[in-house]
């Protein structure tokens, strides 16, 4: 149970680089929207125009008077004002007027977040009108949400692949024994794909197009003849300046994904090299669990198994495991 001096948490927030989700005690998930804010640049200070789902169609389409921003980058807070506004929007959209006053909140945060990063998030939450805030380590919440026996005297390994960061942790007896993260996630893969088009093909593609391309690419990579397929990207030629469409073979983009995946594999190997023998044996017997929105990239699980020999398990809703873990902590 999450509580402060006997007061139980009202809501829990999975504040992600790509999406923000809110669960309320007794009500389940009550909010699930993109982690986006749009500000007007007119006046003495920026003014919030929209947040969440309403901002998605605005990405890469705003005039100079408007600016779209993501409050988090690579898993950590980069814009305290945008974070404050997103938290305020998420809570006001989730709670009734009666419960809106200073709700007690649990917020997920990367396990290796610095003290400065934690303090910045607490400040943003306070400025958003939230009550007492408890920061919960995301790998632990993900493991709980995935159904792992986190409170038992046995080792469980979780690999939480989010949009901004990938965290690897070994958990036993209700705590994190070892953890390490790499600022590589779904957003980093988006950037790598955009860079490939930019530098190799001299073709510029936008953020939304890149995200769609990544989803199509991941789907094709999971099929037997995926490498032989073509994938479409709409954008603008950097040489002529003319809008256009390019057809790209999937096998041209596979190395981009492989390079991304191997960074995650290296973190898994590093943690395994540091794991005490008894915990290591538990992990060998059970395998590891892959969660997060990027868990569905087929190359990740395959590469981990190939490099370590461990079985990889993926829950039914890997992208919601942090949220499900936070929900379980609210209910317990």
- For 15, the token pair is 């504040």
Residue keyed to tokens 């705003």: 62
What are φ and ψ of residue 5, in 5° steps?
50, 45
For 6, residues 6+ apart whose C-beta sits below 8 A from its C-beta are none
Q: How far apart are CA 103 and CA 123, in angstroms?
A: 15
Q: Tell whether residue 214 is among the known ligand binding residues.
A: yes
Q: Tell whether residue 18 is among the known ligand binding residues.
A: yes
- CB environment 121-153: b (16+ within 10 A), e (fewer): bbebbeebebebbebbbbbbbbbbbbebebeee
Q: Tell whether residue 165 is among the known ligand binding residues.
A: yes
Residue 193 has a CB neighbour count (10 Å cut-off) of 23
Q: Tell whether residue 286 is among the known ligand binding residues.
A: no
Q: Decide: 284 and 310 in contact? Cβ < 8 Å.
A: yes
Q: Decide: 147 and 315 in contact? Cβ < 8 Å.
A: yes
Return binding residues: 17-19, 163-165, 211-214
Return binding residues for ATP: 17-19, 163-165, 211-214
């Amino acid at each position: 149970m999450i509580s402060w001096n006997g007061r139980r948490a009202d809501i829990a927030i999975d504040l992600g680089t790509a999406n923000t989700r809110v669960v309320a005690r007794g009500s389940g998930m009550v909010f699930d929207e993109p982690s986006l804010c749009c500000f007007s640049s007119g006046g003495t200070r920026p003014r919030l125009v929209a947040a969440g789902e309403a901002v998605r169609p605005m990405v890469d389409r705003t005039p100079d008077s408007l600016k779209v921003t993501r409050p988090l980058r690579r898993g950590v807070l980069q814009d305290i004002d945008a974070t404050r506004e997103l938290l305020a929007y998420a809570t006001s959209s989730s709670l009734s007027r009666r419960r809106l006053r200073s709700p007690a909140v649990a917020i997920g945060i990367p396990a290796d977040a610095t003290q400065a990063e934690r303090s910045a998030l607490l400040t943003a939450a306070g400025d958003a009108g939230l009550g007492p805030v408890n920061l919960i380590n995301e790998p632990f919440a993900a493991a709980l949400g995935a159904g792992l026996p986190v409170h038992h005297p046995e080792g469980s390994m979780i690999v939480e692949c989010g949009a901004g960061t990938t965290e690897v942790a070994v958990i036993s007896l209700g705590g994190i024994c070892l953890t390490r993260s790499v600022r590589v996630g779904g957003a980093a893969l988006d950037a790598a794909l955009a860079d490939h088009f930019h530098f190799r093909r001299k073709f510029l593609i936008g953020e939304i197009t890149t995200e769609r391309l990544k989803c199509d690419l991941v789907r094709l990579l999971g099929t037997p003849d995926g490498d032989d397929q073509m994938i479409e990207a709409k954008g603008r030629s950097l040489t002529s300046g003319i809008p256009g469409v390019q057809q790209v073979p999937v096998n041209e983009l596979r190395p981009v994904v492989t390079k991304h995946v191997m960074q995650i594999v290296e973190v898994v190997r590093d943690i395994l090299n540091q794991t005490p023998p008894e915990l290591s044996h538990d992990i060998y017997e059970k395998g590891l669990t892959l969660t997060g929105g990027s868990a569905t990239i087929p190359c990740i699980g395959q590469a981990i198994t190939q490099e370590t020999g461990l079985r990889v398990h993926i829950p039914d809703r890997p992208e919601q495991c942090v949220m499900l873990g936070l929900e379980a902590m609210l209910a317990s």
